[in-house]
Amino acid sequence: MTHPTQDQNQDVSVAGGIDLPPHLVGDSDASFDAPTDPIGRRLATLLHLYPGVKSNFRQADLVNMDNPTKQKLLDSLCQVLDIPKVHSAQL
Amino acid sequence: MVAEFTARLLDATGAPVECVFEDLDRESAKYLSMHWSSNNWWAEIVRTKTLIADEPDYHWDWVTVISKQVLNKPSGRSVCLRSPDGVIQGAMIYRIGAKSALHPGKNVVYVDRLATAPRNRSNLVQTARFSRVGECLLRYAMVESLSYGLGGRLTVYPIANVSFYERQGLLRTEEYNKDHEAFLYELPAEAAQETLRTLGVIS
């Protein structure tokens, strides 16, 4: 029987704090209008990441949408983008 | 129905403890930064095995980073893990839509900062209160990457314990930061999805 070494038992304690090189920053540093609520922000980020689907929706429309409508829009967007459905889980 | 995620940490006896992921706001972030509050997670540990000021994140000002990278950038996100007693056990700031270093044309989640509470670091204290904090935060970043159509891909600069990341399936890229003497590591989509499938996040 083998036992894990101390190093194998270690968790990650700290990572990052280093700026990405400019050619890898991409859209992660972009500024664009986004609602502050979680679903609205998720939608705005998806629309920004995939400008190809942007023609069907305008980011400004998100401000006036209620939550059920935003959720429906998010669900259809995920379907169009072929984003797999995630299930609740203990990580 | 929106999927919900919890973290299964292990306490000092190895018993599982379910903890919750929460958005990390500016107010909560004060507890992580020695700049803002005397009641911070650094001040809690009295006796340490190594110098506390040598920890790479000792001077991180989480409040300012959240203001710049999350509140002012729509692609920025911040999350923390809270134990049942309400205490923050670890935190992460990440950004959606950075570029992959391994797969040109693909986007990733960039883990900008990740830290476990000093009380959970085996290099600092005799007995860590919880383990698995960093692993659970990284898995949360994989879920987020998948949810944004990025396949689970993520990049991160490990600044300690590189072997941990390699065991998680992250690969060393050619990107090297000379100032910090650190390579950028990337988790490919296949490795992320295999982990998430095992956890039941995806079918």
* Residue B76 confidence (pLDDT): 96
Grade residue A57 by pLDDT with cuts at 50, 70 and 90. Answer: low
Q: What is the mean pLDDT of residues A67-76?
A: 87
* Residue A53 confidence (pLDDT): 81
In chain A, the residue whose alpha carbon lies closest to the alpha carbon of B141 is: A91
* Residue A1 confidence (pLDDT): 36
- Residue A15's H or E segment, with its range, is strand A14-16
Residues 122-151 of B with CB under 8 A from A: 122-123, 131-136, 138-140, 143, 146-149
Under an 8 A CB cutoff, do A48 and B74 touch? yes
Grade residue A2 by pLDDT with cuts at 50, 70 and 90. Answer: very low
Instruction: Mark the ranges of chain B whose per-residue pLDDT is less than 70.
Output: 1
pLDDT tens for each residue of A32-48: 878 888 898 999 999 89
Grade residue A5 by pLDDT with cuts at 50, 70 and 90. Answer: very low
B6 touches chain A (CB under 8 A): yes
pLDDT at A22 over 90: yes
Under an 8 A CB cutoff, do A21 and B160 touch? no
pLDDT at A9 over 60: no
Q: B158: distance to nearest CA of chain A, Å?
A: 5
Q: Which residues of A touch B3 (CB under 8 A)?
A: 85-89
Q: How far apart are CA B23 and CA B179, in angstroms?
A: 31
* Residue A7 confidence (pLDDT): 41
* Residue B88 confidence (pLDDT): 97
Grade residue A60 by pLDDT with cuts at 50, 70 and 90. Answer: low
Q: How far apart are CA B73 and CA B84, in angstroms?
A: 31
B54 touches chain A (CB under 8 A): no
